[in-house]
Amino acid sequence: MKRREVLIFVAVLLASAILALLATLSLRQWEVSAERRLHEQARDMASMVAEKIETAVLKTEDEGLGSLQLTALDPHFAPEMVDAWKARTPFFDRFYLFDRHGKLLYPRRSNSSDAAMLAGLRAEISPGFWDRGGQRHIQLGDQVALVAVIQGSPQGPLLAVLHRSEQGLRRDILEKTLAGLEGQSLLAVLDGSDRPIYTARPLGRAQHVLSVDFGEALPAWRLALYEPAGLSPRDAVRRQAMLFTAVFILLLGVIAFGLAATYRLVRRESEMARLKSDFVANVSHDLKTPLALIRMFAETLEMDRVPDEVSRREYYGVITRESERLTRLIDNVLDFSRIEGGRQRYDMAPGHVEPIVHEVLEAFRYPLAQQGFKVDVHVEPDLPEVRLDPEAMKQALANLVDNAIKYSGEGRRLDVTARREGKDVCIAVSDDGIGIPPREQQRIFEKFYRIGRSETQGRRGSGVGLALVKHIVEAHGGRVTVESGPGEGSRFTLHVPLPRDV
Ligand code: ADP
C-alpha cells in the first residue's frame, strides 16, 4: 500500500472510532434521559389516578354525610332513623353518633374494642371543633374515620363517626376508577405494609415501577404502578438502545465494507491504468518490429543487393510473414476495440473445424519450422459440424498457437488436437513451454493482463490475446480452459458446443 492510501485508511478508521465513541456516549445519555422521562410519565399517570380515587372517595363520603345530615335535621329525629340511612349507604360499614356530652346515641350498644376506640376519638375532638362544625379525617388504629359535626338537630350538635367499608371502597371507587384506565401498565392499591389490596388484573410477574401516596382520605395506602415483565421503562429503553447499537454496528460494517470496496476499486483502476499504458507501449513495440523488418528487407530487395535467388525468396518470405504478423496484431487490436465497444459481430454458420486447424497451422508453418518446433496435429476423423464463425475461430486458434510459440521456452513442441468430448468439439493447443502458475490461470484471460515481466520479458505481446479468445469462444456458446504448471507446459482447450441434435 502506498503511504497516501495508508493515511486515508487510518483517517477513516479514526473517524469511525470517534463516531463510535460519540455514539456510545450519546446513547448512554439518551438512555438515562429516556428512562427518566418514562419514569416521569409513569409518575404523572399514577398521581393522576391517585387523585381521581381520592376525589371519588371524598365525593362519596360527602354524599353519604349530606344524606345523614338531612336525616338528623328531621324534627322527629330519633337515632333509630339512622338504620334506614345506613341501609341506603353501604359505603360505610360502621357508624357512631354522639351528642355534645359524649353520650353514644348510635348504636345503642358498643362492644369493648369500640369503646376503647371511641375513648381515643373523644380525646381528639376539641371543643372548638364542636363549635366550628365541619368534618375531618382521623386515623384510628389502622382505620381512617370521617368525623363530622352535624348542627341543627333537635338533639343539639351531634358528632358522626363514619368508617368506610373496604368492600364498598373496592366496589364503588376502585373498580370504577381503575377498570377503564389501565393500558399495558397495571395499577394496584397497596396497604400500609405494601400488600396489594386491590388490582384490576392479576399482577403475575409484573415489575414494580413506582408508588405514589394518596391524600389525607387514604393516608396509609399507596397506589403502585407495575409493568408486565419485559415492558418496564428500563426494558423498553434497553431494547431501543440494543436496536440502536445493532443498527450502528451495521452502519460501521457498511462503512468498513464501502472502504474495502473503494480500496479494491481504486487498486483495480490504478492497475488498469498501468495495464493500459503497458498495452500502448507493447502494441507500439509490436508494430515497430515487423515494420522495421519489412522495411529493411524491402529496401535490400529494392537496391538489388541480394546475392542469390534463394536469399531473395527468403527475404520475400520474411516480408510476407511479418506483414501477416502485423495483420494479426492489428486484427487483434481492432477486434478487441470492437468487443469493448460492443460492436463485434459474428457470422455463425455450420462448419467443420478441420480446415480451420489446418489453415492456422499453415499460417504458422514458417516460424514453427524456423524455430525448430516439433508439431503434432491430430484431428479426429468424421468430426461433426458445429456452428461457428470461421474467421473468428481462426483468430482464436491463431492466438493460442502464437502464445505456444512465444512462451515455448526450451521445449519446442506443439500439439494441436481436435476431437469430440461429450457434447463439445474440443480444440486443444499444448506446448512444453514455461507454463503458468495456478494463481494466474484465471487472470490471464483478463484484458491487458500479462504475467509478471520477468517471465514474459523479451516476449512481445499486448495482453489482449487470451481476452479475445475467451470472448470469441463464449460467443460460440463454449468456453476456454487451461491446464498448466510452471515449467510443465500448457494446454489451452477451446470447447465448442455441438448442435443439440448431434
Ligand atoms: P500476450 O499478448 O501477453 O501474449 P495473452 O492475453 O495472449 O497476452 O496472454 C496473457 C498472458 O498469459 C501472457 O502474457 C503470458 O504470460 C500467459 N500465457 C499465455 N499463453 C501462454 C502459454 N502457452 N504458456 C505460458 N504462458 C502463457
Give the binding-site residues of ligand 1, using a 6 Å CB cut-off: 399, 403-404, 406-407, 431, 433-436, 444, 449-451, 456, 461-467, 490
CA of 462 from ligand 1 middle (Å) equals 9
What pLDDT score does 482 carry? 97
The mean pLDDT of 145-154, rounded to a whole number, is 87
> Which residue has its alpha carbon closest to ligand 1 atom 2?
461
Determine the 3-state secondary structure of 496 from DSSP. strand
What pLDDT score does 454 carry? 40
> Which residue has its alpha carbon closest to ligand 1 atom 23?
404
Could you tell me the pTM of the whole model? 0.57
Q: What is the pLDDT of residues 212-230, one digit of tens each?
A: 999 888 888 899 999 888 7
CA of 442 from ligand 1 middle (Å) equals 12
What pLDDT score does 453 carry? 56
Q: Are 423 and 497 in contact (CB under 8 A)?
A: yes
CA of 450 from ligand 1 middle (Å) equals 6
CA of 430 from ligand 1 middle (Å) equals 13
Q: Which helix (H) or strand (E) holds 256?
A: helix 233-302
| 47-51, 107-111, 171-175, 340-344: the lowest-pLDDT one | 107-111
CA of 432 from ligand 1 middle (Å) equals 14
Residue 2 has pLDDT above 90, yes or no: no
Q: What is the pLDDT of residues 378-396, one digit of tens each?
A: 999 999 999 999 999 999 9
Kindly give, in sequence order, each residue whose CB lies less than 8 Å from that of residue 481, ignoring residues fewer than 6 positions away. 492, 493, 495
Q: Which of 407, 446, 455, 482 to mutate to test the pocket of ligand 1 (most atoms within 8 A of CB)?
A: 407
> Which residue has its alpha carbon closest to ligand 1 atom 7?
465
Q: Which helix (H) or strand (E) holds 484?
A: strand 479-484
Q: Which of 284, 373, 395, 403 to mutate to test the pocket of ligand 1 (most atoms within 8 A of CB)?
A: 403
* Half-sphere exposure in the Cβ direction for 303 (13 Å, CA): 6
High-pLDDT (> 90) share of the chain, %: 40
Residue with cell 516476449: 459
What pLDDT score does 154 carry? 80
Q: How far apart are CA 214 and CA 54, in angstroms?
A: 7
**73 phi, psi to nearest 5 deg:** -80, -5
Per-residue confidence at 185, pLDDT binned at 50, 70, 90?
confident
What pLDDT score does 433 carry? 92
Report residue 413 as a C-alpha cell: 513442441
Over the chain, what is the mean pLDDT? 88
CA of 280 from ligand 1 middle (Å) equals 17
Q: How far apart are CA 18 and CA 92, in angstroms?
A: 68
Higher pLDDT, 286 or 420: 420
Higher pLDDT, 8 or 231: 8
What pLDDT score does 50 carry? 94
User: What is the DSSP secondary structure assignment for residue 410, as one 8-state letter?
Assistant: T
CA of 362 from ligand 1 middle (Å) equals 21
> Which residue has its alpha carbon closest to ligand 1 atom 13?
450
Q: How far apart are CA 132 and CA 137, in angstroms?
A: 15
> Which residue has its alpha carbon closest to ligand 1 atom 12?
444
β-pairing verdict for 424-432 and 490-497 = antiparallel
What pLDDT score does 15 carry? 86
Residue 187 has pLDDT above 50, yes or no: yes
Report residue 105 as a C-alpha cell: 346515641
User: Which atom of ligand 1 has the smallest separation from the CA of 462?
Assistant: 2
> Which residue has its alpha carbon closest to ligand 1 atom 25?
435
Q: Are 464 and 336 in contact (CB under 8 A)?
A: yes
CA of 274 from ligand 1 middle (Å) equals 18
What is the spatial order of strands in the sheet that 158-164 belongs to?
104-106, 92-99, 158-164, 143-150, 134-140
Specify which of 43-52, 82-91, 223-232 reaches the highest per-range mean pLDDT: 43-52
Per-residue confidence at 356, pLDDT binned at 50, 70, 90?
very high
Per-residue confidence at 101, pLDDT binned at 50, 70, 90?
confident
Q: What is the pLDDT of residues 435-484, one digit of tens each?
A: 999 999 999 999 888 887 545 556 778 889 999 999 999 999 999 999 99
Per-residue confidence at 182, pLDDT binned at 50, 70, 90?
low
CA of 377 from ligand 1 middle (Å) equals 21
